[in-house]
Amino acid sequence: MKHLFLLTALIIPSFVSAKPASNMVWMPETLNFVENGNVQKGEQLAQSCASCHGEKGISAMGMFPSLAGQTANYTYKQLRDYADGKRDNPMMNSVAQGLSDQDSADLAAWFQSLPAAQNKASTQDVSKAELMVNQGNGKKILPPCFTCHGASGKGKRMDTPALAGQQSEYTVNTLMAYKKGTRHNDIYSRMRVIAKQLSDDEIKQLGELYQQMK
Amino acid sequence: MNKISEEERQKILESPPVGTWILMLSVAGGMVAAWLFLYYGVFLSRGIIN
Amino acid sequence: MNDSTAKNLALSHMWVAFSAFILACFMGEYQVLERSGLFDSLSSPSVYFASVSTHGVLMAFVLTTFFIMGFGYYTASHSLKVPVWNPKLAWFGFGLALTGVVMAAIPLLTGLASVLYTFYPPVQAHVAFYIGATLLVIGSWVWCAIMVVMFYQWKQANPGKTVPLAMFATTANAFLWLWTSTGVALEVLFQLIPWALGWMDTLDPGLARTLFAWTLHPIVYFWLIPAYTAFYVFVPKQAGAYLFSEEAARMAFIVLVVFSLPIGFHHLYMDPEQAKGWKLLHGLGTFIVTLPTLVTGFTVIASLEIAGRLRGGKGLFGWIGTLPWGNPMVLSVILSLLMLIFGGFGGIVNASYAMNAMIHNTAWVPGHFHLIFAGTTIIMYFAIAYYLWPVLVKKPLFSKSLALVQLWTWFIGMSIMTTPWHVLGLLGQPRRISSVQYNNLLTLSWEPYELLMILGGLVLLGSACLFFYLLIKTQFSASTEPFEGIVEYAEPLHEVKDLPEYLNDFKLWNKVIGVLMLISFGIPILQFFFMDTYGSSGWGY
Amino acid sequence: MHIDPLERKWVLVSLGMCALFVSIIMIDALFHGVNAPSNVETIDSRKIHLSEEFGEDNLGVQVAENGEITVRMVAGRYAFFPKEITIPAETKITFRWVSMDVLHGVHMPMTNMSTMIVPGYVSQVESSFPRPGEYPMLCNEYCGLGHDHMWSKVSVIDKEEWDASRAASKTVTSDTIDEEQNNE
């Protein structure tokens, strides 16, 4: 009977939107374009971001992400996804729609050039998170976080984001949004599938762990 | 080493290597049998592939 | 004749080879331990994949290439009774290859080149890794050139004479390697290096795999030919008799060289970028290349049979017992052939086209190539080292009985390690994983085999250390008596008369290879330039 | 030239052995459809998420009108998407695989479902599964540090159970459609 349900769920054509999760395509031209973003121009543009994301890309409020040290590809992709409505946030949607591709690349380059936040270690228990980051969980088919996000949370080539130094509240919110599916600009649900398997406690600890990571 | 006469020595050098022949035949036989077992007994019984 | 140059070259090359070997053996044992999952503290994919990449490069590229070069210099000089041609060039080649090794070792050991020794793009390693590997290959081309020049100089000086079998085989290997390495050289020079340097945005992984497959099969024959050379030129003499047929030996070498080249697609059976017609054609060629090995088995065993009978062996198999089992060379060949039977059978299974799906990229594959390479081939490298070391360092072998223990333990260790590996493959365990994460009942059946592999690995590691110890002890023992070791080649049972020129030269065979390569790789490579293909940018790992 | 008569015979035996293996392989390949997966079909791996065939909602098991089953899967570090599928035993199933990033390989242990997945190419393989059960579908080519964790679940179920659930799902599907229409 269990099979039956599963099967039914799997072979019914889905009626949810058939649109791709993101329109971003990493052609070499795009990669080069982002890599050659103009840091100075980005710095100027970033002045209007400072109120939320901080002067040096380090946000003071947990609801807004720090962007300092973020990989340029990732920032660029998010800005384009906001502009396309692939990622929902009323404020960012309108901000991103006002940015050209060139502006997005410049901003991405600027934020990448900034040093990520260096936060002190707290006394909170992060043992579960450490396990997730380093070992993953074979039983739940969860690869260790470091395999994509890097051993020191600096992100990796193409578009996996840097997480080290990120506001813990922001990381937790993001993972919860993936878990609920309200954030869905990860192609093939890559991150949603993972977040769905994480317990709320693990998510909380992961937020803390990445906030402290240097 | 056993002492052997020159006559015996020549005989050995000229005799066909029957031991080798039988040994190699059994190796070949074993290989054919094992291959057929893997092909029909294991590989094809695991389903089609195309 | 003063052959000190050849001896120095041989010794230097072989020390590099065996140093790489011993280092890689420790990594091998770490890998079986890590992979078993028994030791939580060892668990680290980052370290594991850096280690497995280094292990593969050291064993497959460094140990082999340096050993073959060193053995080749000595064989050429000794069998032709001439000094090494252009020793400065030879040392330059050595330096180049060694520089390459160091250059590749740095990113490998620091985890910047964990792309395995097959470096399959689009995962991208540090560019120093690709450049280092290229220098190693270019250094080996210098060796090839010197071998070919010595071969033809000798032929010119000795018109109508038969080139000694040892040199014939060595030159065959030099030609084989020039042809073999061209595939990977094309991949590295036109794809990997420009791509890793950023001169080129993308490359086609399908083309890269096709070019690597060009190299991937004949390279194992490049490694194997020194072992076969020892089979034919040393073993019969050491056993106390004659080489059963020198003509068969020469034919075997030629068929090996010619047919190991155009058959690389059996590594691509499960790949989407080549069509089945080409795969079948290469598969057919793969079966042809089993023939020289089957003939070699017969010729070598027949030579041993005569030796055993001369020593008093009676009846159908009585000669086996009367063989000089206490001679390291003879013991090695017996153990080597035993492993060749099983390793060869595994190879036939791999070659069997669709049946490859049953074992492709499973644990069976490393089980197979450890048996045939680390077993059959390397045990003969040991035998050659035991045979040549006293000659090279002018001191007697430190301990023959320890050498015998070493050879036996290597064989036993290899059997204990590779048998479970094959079984794991049939049970579906993939190769190249650092731990078993699949939450499935099936994986429980894998565990006992992993334990056995640890044991096998331990025995092998002990054996490798003993080997290294014996080389050091032989070379650096304080022996005062002057010692002159000798190298003797086996005489053919029937004198070689009226040898046709095609069994004494490679001109014809190079043309044949050219044609076969054009047929088997021409269209499969050209297709990438006529299809709409899509490149890949470099990815981290 | 001197070649021993027994050695000549041995060459013939060796040739015979190879000929036997080659004939079995060739006959099965040419007449019985036992082949290595070899469709040479290219695709732009960077854009597959925008493609129709490998669009997110088109992945997984699909049954055509005539009952033929196609499974479309995307390999990407570190999973095969979708992560769970259910297929019937003893039925020919066509798998179509693409990579969204690097080189991968996939097989299901103790079955013949095996292929490399090379970026830039579609790997198509037809297979069947005589034995029902839970299988891991796992990555067998090193693809990065999370390679060990790259696997998905496959349930191979009895053919009767599959047919029964197919019949049931058809009614469910039409019910759902009815409901949706009613809602509008």
**% of chain A residues with pLDDT over 90:** 83
pLDDT confidence bin for D173, thresholds 50/70/90:
low
pLDDT confidence bin for D184, thresholds 50/70/90:
very low
Phi, psi of C242 (to 5 degrees): -120, 160
Annotation says C48 is catalytic: no
Tell me how far apart the terminal alpha carbons of chain B are, to the nearest angstrom. 60
> What ipTM describes this predicted complex?
0.93
Q: Is the pLDDT of residue D178 over 70?
A: no
Counting the structural domains of chain B, the total is 1
pLDDT at D172: 61
Question: C230: which 2 tokens?
Answer: 């020892």
Q: What is the pLDDT of residues A177-199, one digit of tens each?
A: 999 999 999 999 999 999 999 99
Distance from CA of C313 to the nearest CA of B (A): 9
Closest C-alpha to C362, from A61, D139, A187: D139
Q: What is the pLDDT of residues C82-124, one digit of tens each?
A: 999 999 999 999 999 999 999 999 999 999 999 998 889 999 9
Whether the model clears a pTM of 0.90, i.e. scores above it, the answer is yes
Q: Is the peptide bond before D78 cis (omega within 30 degrees of 0)?
A: yes
pLDDT confidence bin for C484, thresholds 50/70/90:
confident
Q: Is residue C235 within 8 Å of C329, Cβ to Cβ?
A: yes
pLDDT at A177: 97
Q: Is the pLDDT of residue C349 over 80?
A: yes
**HEC string for chain D:** CCCCHHHHHHHHHHHHHHHHHHHHHHHHHHHCCCCCCCCCCECCHHHHHHCCCCCHHHCEEEECCCCCEEEEEEEECCEEECCEEEEECCCCEEEEEEECCCCEEEECCCCCCEEEECCCECEEEEECCCCCEEEEEEECCCCCCCHHHCEEEEEEECHHHHHHHHHHHHHHHHHHHHHHHHHC
Task: Give yes or no for A157 touching C (CB within 8 A).
Answer: yes
Question: C399: which 2 tokens?
Answer: 């301990």
What 8-state DSSP symbol labels residue C511?
Answer: H
pLDDT at C483: 86
Element (H, E) at C439: none
Task: Give yes or no for A147 touching D (CB within 8 A).
Answer: yes
pLDDT at A18: 62
pLDDT at D168: 84
Q: Is the pLDDT of residue D100 over 70?
A: yes
User: With an 8 Å Cβ cutoff, are D128 and B16 in contact?
Assistant: no
Q: Is residue D148 within 8 Å of C435, Cβ to Cβ?
A: yes
Using CA atoms, how far apart are residues C15 and A99, in angstroms rounded to an integer?
63
pLDDT at A214: 87
Q: What is the pLDDT of residues A6-25, one digit of tens each?
A: 444 444 444 444 689 999 99
The topology under which CATH files domain C4-530 is Cytochrome C Oxidase; Chain A (1.20.210)
pLDDT at C1: 57
Look at residue C345 and give its three-state secondary structure.
helix
Annotation says C432 is catalytic: yes
Within C110-204, where are the H helices?
127-157, 165-187, 193-196
Q: What is the mean pLDDT of residues C365-388?
A: 97
Q: What is the dihedral of CA B17, C247, C233, C182, to 10 degrees?
A: -130
Reply yes or no on domain D45-167 having CATH 2.60.40.420: yes
User: With an 8 Å Cβ cutoff, are A141 and D83 in contact?
Assistant: yes
For chain C, the domains span 4-530
pLDDT at A139: 87
Q: Is residue C214 within 8 Å of D129, Cβ to Cβ?
A: no
Domain that holds residue B29: 18-50
Q: Is residue C258 within 8 Å of C513, Cβ to Cβ?
A: yes
Question: C199: which 2 tokens?
Answer: 């001169």
Question: D108: which 2 tokens?
Answer: 């299901």
Please pick, among C55, C126, C217, C267, the residue that the annotation labels catalytic: C217
Q: What is the mean pLDDT of residues C371-397?
A: 96
- CA angle (D51, C268, C534) in 5-degree steps: 30
Q: Is residue A10 within 8 Å of D60, Cβ to Cβ?
A: yes
Q: Which amino acid is at D7?
A: E
Using CA atoms, how far apart are residues C486 and C311, in angstroms rounded to an integer?
23
Q: What is the pLDDT of residues C407-417, one digit of tens each?
A: 999 999 999 99
For chain D, the domains span 1-35, 45-167
pLDDT confidence bin for C436, thresholds 50/70/90:
very high
Q: What is the mean pLDDT of residues A75-96?
A: 96
Q: Is the pLDDT of residue C433 over 70?
A: yes
pLDDT at C41: 86
pLDDT at D174: 53
Q: What is the pLDDT of residues C189-210, one digit of tens each?
A: 999 999 999 999 999 999 999 9
Q: Is residue C61 within 8 Å of C138, Cβ to Cβ?
A: no
Q: What is the pLDDT of residues C284-336, one digit of tens each?
A: 999 999 999 999 999 999 999 999 999 999 999 999 999 999 999 999 999 99
Tallying the residues shown for chain C, one arrives at 541
Q: Is residue C313 within 8 Å of D40, Cβ to Cβ?
A: no
Any domain includes B11 = no
Please pick, among C259, C368, C411, C506, the residue that the annotation labels catalytic: C368
Using CA atoms, how far apart are residues A151 and A171, in angstroms rounded to an integer?
17
Q: What is the mean pLDDT of residues C11-18?
A: 98
Using CA atoms, how far apart are residues C264 and C365, in angstroms rounded to an integer?
15
Please pick, among C221, C232, C381, C449, the residue that the annotation labels catalytic: C221
Using CA atoms, how far apart are residues B39 and D114, in angstroms rounded to an integer?
16
pLDDT at B2: 53
Q: Is the pLDDT of residue D180 over 90?
A: no
What average pLDDT is seen over chain C? 96
Give the burial class of C67: count Cβ atoms within 10 A of its Cβ; 0-12 exposed, 13-18 middle, 19 or more buried. buried
Q: Is the pLDDT of residue A91 over 70?
A: yes
Element (H, E) at C433: none
CB atoms under 10 Å from CB of C135, counted, come to 20
Pairing of strands D93-99, D69-76: parallel
Annotation says C190 is catalytic: no
Q: Is the pLDDT of residue C458 over 80?
A: yes
What average pLDDT is seen over chain A? 91
Question: C110: which 2 tokens?
Answer: 């620091």
Annotation says C476 is catalytic: no
Distance from CA of C356 to the nearest CA of B (A): 9
Q: Is the pLDDT of residue D167 over 70?
A: yes
Q: Is the peptide bond before C122 cis (omega within 30 degrees of 0)?
A: yes
Q: What is the pLDDT of residues D108-145, one digit of tens each?
A: 999 999 999 999 999 999 999 999 999 999 999 999 99
* Bridge partner list, D96: D72, D124
Which residue in the block uniquely carries the two structure tokens 């058959």? C263
User: With an 8 Å Cβ cutoff, are C298 and B1 in contact?
Assistant: no
Q: Is residue B11 within 8 Å of D87, Cβ to Cβ?
A: no
Phi, psi of D36 (to 5 degrees): -70, 145
Q: What is the mean pLDDT of residues B19-28?
A: 97
